[in-house]
Structure 1
């Protein structure tokens, strides 16, 4: 009963967070709240930034830009955003915008992140970074050159649950890592045939949309980049009504096994539309990562959205097992840092603002994290025969 009540309380506060007063400039603290502008009136905007910003005293979601003024205005009115712009460049030209959240389709990440950086804006860039590793490196190189902060929104990495699982692995409790499995698979019916996730020109594909999480996760758990792609298998997406000569370029499902240093192997599985059981019963989403060691294993259920519900299960061979749940970070004195209802996006926003303000963030993903993830996504696509998404450079 207590667990159910806790779940309800977390969910309510996560989606209805307390609205905190925004920090005002003073003589002793002359820093005004950071004004964020959103590129794209996307559905990811509210959970990823708008709602988390309500409980952050240093963040104001100030502007949104869309392809049409009407779309931007409707979005702005719905979410209480002051400025609405037709066209992304107009938002970048606004001197009051401090930070840009790039929520555009994958294929537009490179172009508009580069333009935002050139305009002197810090950027929170939706995952995956871009269509290729070369584009990703170019974006981070420009950010470094201009002294700006660029972060790819791998929000799951900022939640303390994953940090706790990694600490268990690093402690040696399960012994040397032997194998890692990361899975993120969704049931059929969530996305239509015309969804951008199936559009090759927009950087679509299961590996791009879901697999970037699994690739990033196995690299994090292994504390290393892969050495090679051992094997791949995929199910291609084929839209209805195409000719028999149609050549699929987008993966609906992707599985890959990779080798890591020290004889470690890892398998990733991602699926945008798992077929229904018996043709009509939707499957339950699969969202987990399991790390098998020489003497035991650690499994994290729901590593992508642990605030909703998660478990960290530790099993030692021939010994006891236990389950942990972690919702807040704690400092050396045991003081909580964060709230149990904070979603991964709220933890991410906290770290991002800390970085912008010159404070040490609890967790961070740097340039090499992002570049390596895209590099190995490309290598999996190469091995599969589908090839990388279209490069802009």
Structure 2
């Protein structure tokens, strides 16, 4: 009963966070900085969870503007979410001198172009994962951010939650001995993504490895504190739309499995699936997201590492000391039990922008390596990397 009450409280606070007074100069303290004004590229479904709701409880953040290709859509989105400005074009938002930070929530294939344009316009960028379609683009984006003296962060939001940090701390402590193998699962029920979803559009950087799989590869690298040395094997199932035309090109993965070699004779595997069949033919399956770490003296399993605020557990089985279950909704540092992973991420980003030391941060190399291994899995599978952007930024030449 206690866990149910806790869940309900978290859900309520997530949906209705306390609106905080935004920081800024006051008659008694003129030195207080103005809030950071964010602009969203794309009237996307991820916007509310990814930024709009977390911003409501952050005293230093205001969601100031949104841009869409269609002005009417941007205006409707702005009205729904209480955003001051709406633009019918992405460049118009970048030209707004009041925007300090851009949240790039566009499809994968547009991340490179519009992040580069945002950086060129002097804006810091929170970029939706995966970084871009290729590792080459990823490195170029971070190199350009460094050149401009700006902050670029990929939105691997799950990395900022204290539950994941606790799971890693258990592994790193040596309690279970040497890590032998990790399996990361990211699976959702059939129909979770509709046939016309951008995740199934090759030209837009689609594929489940690009979408859910980037979390899995990032997670196995984080939990093992190591880079794979080789993609040993892959298997995949391609996405088959209903009534596919005869000339339909089957280059989008609906399911992807991959096994990796790690240093010191360790291994890792990922299982990504956007089409779990329904139970009894009609009951949608609950998403299967989590990981299992096999060690010399036991195993650790974490359920729901991607959205742990809703519910999660860390199951530890120590061959010598028995079993236990841990749940971590609030860490020793900043945060509340109801903070979404996105809220923890926003806290870290603002700390970075204000010159404070974030509790957690993702480096350029972290983002680049994740994209490199995505491309290596696609190469091994025969599906190939997603199309590289044709955009060229003259100022980089």
CA distance in 1, matches of 2:337, 2:124: 28
Please state whether the residue corresponding to 1:193 is helix, strand or coil: coil
* 1:334 counterpart residue number: none
Deviations 1:349-385 (A, max 9, x none): 0000000001010100010000000000000000000
CA distance in 2, matches of 1:361, 1:298: 27
Please give the TM-score of this superposition, normalised by the length of structure 2. 0.96
CA distance in 1, matches of 2:217, 2:45: 24
CA distance in 1, matches of 2:76, 2:232: 48
In the alignment, does 2:361 pair up with 1:373? no
* 1:324 counterpart residue number: 326
* 1:259 counterpart residue number: 261
- Candidates 384, 387, 392, aligned match of 1:390: 387
Q: How far 1:245 sits from its partner (Å)? A: 5.1
Aligned length: 388
CA distance in 2, matches of 1:376, 1:9: 39
Please state whether the residue corresponding to 2:292 is helix, strand or coil: strand
In the alignment, does 2:363 pair up with 1:358? no
Matches for 1:156-305 after TM superposition, within 5 Å? 156-244=158-246, 246-305=248-307
* 2:58 counterpart residue number: 56
Q: How far 1:6 sits from its partner (Å)? A: 0.8
Please state whether the residue corresponding to 2:268 is helix, strand or coil: strand
Q: How far 1:323 sits from its partner (Å)? A: 0.5
CA distance in 2, matches of 1:246, 1:124: 35
CA distance in 2, matches of 1:154, 1:15: 21
Deviations 1:211-262 (A, max 9, x none): 0000000000010111000000000012223344533010001010011111
Deviations 1:4-48 (A, max 9, x none): 111100111012110000001255634100000000000100011
* 1:2 counterpart residue number: 2
CA distance in 2, matches of 1:226, 1:245: 37
Please give the TM-score of this superposition, normalised by the length of structure 1. 0.97
* 1:18 counterpart residue number: 18
Please state whether the residue corresponding to 1:329 is helix, strand or coil: coil
* 1:349 counterpart residue number: 346
CA distance in 2, matches of 1:306, 1:7: 11
* 2:48 counterpart residue number: 46
Please state whether the residue corresponding to 2:163 is helix, strand or coil: helix
Q: How far 1:278 sits from its partner (Å)? A: 4.2
Deviations 1:255-288 (A, max 9, x none): 1001111111001011112122343232221011
Unaligned runs of at least 5 residues, structure 1: 332-336
* 2:394 counterpart residue number: none
Deviations 1:274-315 (A, max 9, x none): 122343232221011111111111111100000000001110
Please state whether the residue corresponding to 1:71 is helix, strand or coil: helix
Question: Which of structure 1's runs of 4+ aligned residues deviate more than 6 A?
Answer: none
- Candidates 36, 39, 57, aligned match of 1:37: 39
**Superposed CA RMSD:** 1.1
CA distance in 2, matches of 1:174, 1:28: 53
CA distance in 1, matches of 2:10, 2:269: 32
CA distance in 1, matches of 2:147, 2:228: 28
CA distance in 2, matches of 1:302, 1:46: 20
Equivalent residues of 2:23, 2:32 under 8 A apart: no
CA distance in 1, matches of 2:237, 2:132: 23
Residues 348-357 or 268-277, more deviating: 268-277
Unaligned runs of at least 5 residues, structure 2: 391-397
CA distance in 1, matches of 2:300, 2:3: 22
CA distance in 2, matches of 1:126, 1:246: 28
Residues 215-224 or 318-327, more deviating: 318-327
Q: How far 1:2 sits from its partner (Å)? A: 1.4
Please state whether the residue corresponding to 1:267 is helix, strand or coil: strand
